[in-house]
Amino acid sequence: MAGMVMVALSGGVDSAVAALRLLDAGHRVEALHMTNWEEPDGSCPAADDLRAAEEVANELGLVLHRLNFAEEYRREVFESMLSECRAGRTPNPDVGCNRRIKFGACLRMAGRLGAERLATGHHARLERTGGSIRLLRGKDPKKDQSYFLHAVRGEAFEHCLFPVGELDKKQVRAMARRRGLPNYERPDSTGICFVGERAFPQFIARYIPARPGPIVTIAGDHAGEHAGLAAYTIGQRRGLRLGGIKRGGPEPWHVVRKDLNANALVVAQGHDHPLLYSRRVEVRGLRWINGAPAAFAKGARLSAKTRYRQNDADCRARLLAPDRCLVRFDTPQWAVTPGQYLVFYNGQECLGGGVIERAEA
């Protein structure tokens, strides 16, 4: 009999259908549910996720293991997020969570529980050819999650399966509905990985003391007060609470820069203001799934995206150091944000990426 596959049941419909497809293919399947966040006061915002996972496991007749990685998540993901926020950057903890928790601690624990492979509901694909494994975009371009998986060690993918990567979201929900899975209409999760949807300024203020300061226009006019630079990101429009401003027109205001020395948030009007566009981007902490492209040291032609909900764009990348590179886009990119990730692609293949250090016109 083939070895057992462990499915990470999050409570969402994607992981539920991942389990269903494996069962239909004849695999021996068990399930696990991760708790990676616990509130200091003992409240449990993830209770709904656990209940949904239990209902799916019961419907499919699966053994469900409950795992708690809250300590590892705080130490290896959340503390790094706070450090980036203190430095005025905008981190993406989902990337670290995938690398260190889901395909790190969780993958190792699945093996200890007797599983040969770990399956998840990620919208991505794995292609095994010639003794190597490639990470490919998911079939549904609106749900593709390869961006969040770019930092996972390539050897970890050798023990993983993505059963819904070949499906679009409509197909996933249709399969769940036909099988009568109890969560077939459950909304997709949003917010910080495992922490959930929060009012970010209030949430981050629990961990980083707020330092309110001025909001200023690029002309130097005082426009308002911010609640602490950690609560804002480049390109942000909502939540600035700016009324009528001297010399201001009707277009909405956007964050274009954070001035850490002056503790000031700099804003300009218009979604397409020139200060929101960058062509040159310096990247640090490079990680590759199968090693750097052969031509990378001399300057490689690739495509890359600087945020999840963005099409990748043509660029040339040149290595500055083993873990740093300079990327020049053919066309300027909107709201390139320090702390976020720049991820490289070659056609359908996700190659790897790193953290955006700075961006310039």
The set of catalytic residues is 97, 193
C-alpha distance across the termini of the chain, in Å:
58
The H helix count followed by the E strand count for the chain is: 10, 17
Judging by beta carbons within 10 Å of its beta carbon (0-12, 13-18, 19+), is residue 141 exposed, middle or buried? exposed
What residues does 217 pair with on adjacent strands?
A: 267
Q: How many alpha carbons fall within 13 Å on the CB side of residue 14?
A: 25
Can you tell me the distance from the alpha carbon of 269 to that of 248, in angstroms, rounded to the nearest whole number?
Answer: 8
Can you tell me the distance from the alpha carbon of 306 to that of 359, in angstroms, rounded to the nearest whole number?
Answer: 11
| Secondary structure (3-state) at 49 | helix
Sheet containing 213-217: which strands, arranged edge to edge?
A: 222-226, 213-217, 264-269, 253-259
Query: Which among 161, 139, 124, 126 has a CA at the least distance from the CA of 25?
Result: 161
